[in-house]
Chain A
């Protein structure tokens, strides 16, 4: 199993540009989520999904869109990038029960100029 994969690893955008961060998992996990990690603010939940076709907002959803058309993929779209979105983005997945651990991807480091 590859686990949770994310692309790209690094990205530089200009203010106002849009882009999609890719996330995929091959563990047949129902639950997938996106976090951003900023110094001094820990990990904050952006959006999550409990299965294909179902998504919901987390703590900091503004400026981001998600969709879940398949169990495996959960892309995160930045609609119009802003410098405040400079961060490290992590995708995670787990089964929909209390016994399973959460598995994280390696992260995407995004800089918005």
Chain B
């Protein structure tokens, strides 16, 4: 079964720290991988989309990397701020069923002032 796992489930850091969120997937044959942010009671907002041929994508203080051979992606957040507090989810489209996205359960990040 193709699965996506995010560890840890929750993370608390002081403001200003650089941090890494992890996403692992069971099948290296992926179509693309997308990172989302979800604020409490809200929908999902796309942060970064990485195609299978890419190694990383950057947007502002965010950098997402992709290592298909090890089945891992990381989301790096630089100089964290309290406004970064949210749940971060990764979603993978696998080649065998590229029409569908498989989501991890997310990592809930709290950045303390």
Q: From the candidates B45, B99, B100, B105, name the one contacting A104 in the complex (CB within 8 A).
A: B45
Asked if A107 and B31 sit within 8 Å, CB to CB, the answer is no
Interface residues on A, range: 20 to 34
Task: Judge if B43 is at the interface, Cβ distance under 8 Å.
Answer: yes
Asked if A45 and B42 sit within 8 Å, CB to CB, the answer is no
The docked-state distance in angstroms from the alpha carbon of A99 to that of B31 is 10
Q: From the candidates B51, B99, B101, name the one contacting A99 in the complex (CB within 8 A).
A: B51
Q: Which residues of B contact A106 (CB under 8 A)?
A: 42-43
Asked if A48 and B51 sit within 8 Å, CB to CB, the answer is no
Q: From the candidates B46, B98, B104, name the one contacting A103 in the complex (CB within 8 A).
A: B46
B56 to chain A, nearest CB (A): 16
Asked if A42 and B103 sit within 8 Å, CB to CB, the answer is yes
Task: Judge if B28 is at the interface, Cβ distance under 8 Å.
Answer: no
A37 to chain B, nearest CB (A): 9
Determine which residue in B41, B44, B46, B103 has the highest number of CB atoms from chain A within 10 A of its CB, and name it: B44
Please give me the residue from chain B that is nearest to A35 by CB atom: B103
Residues of B within 8 A of A (CB): 31-32, 34, 36, 41-46, 49, 51-52, 89, 91, 93, 98-101, 103-106
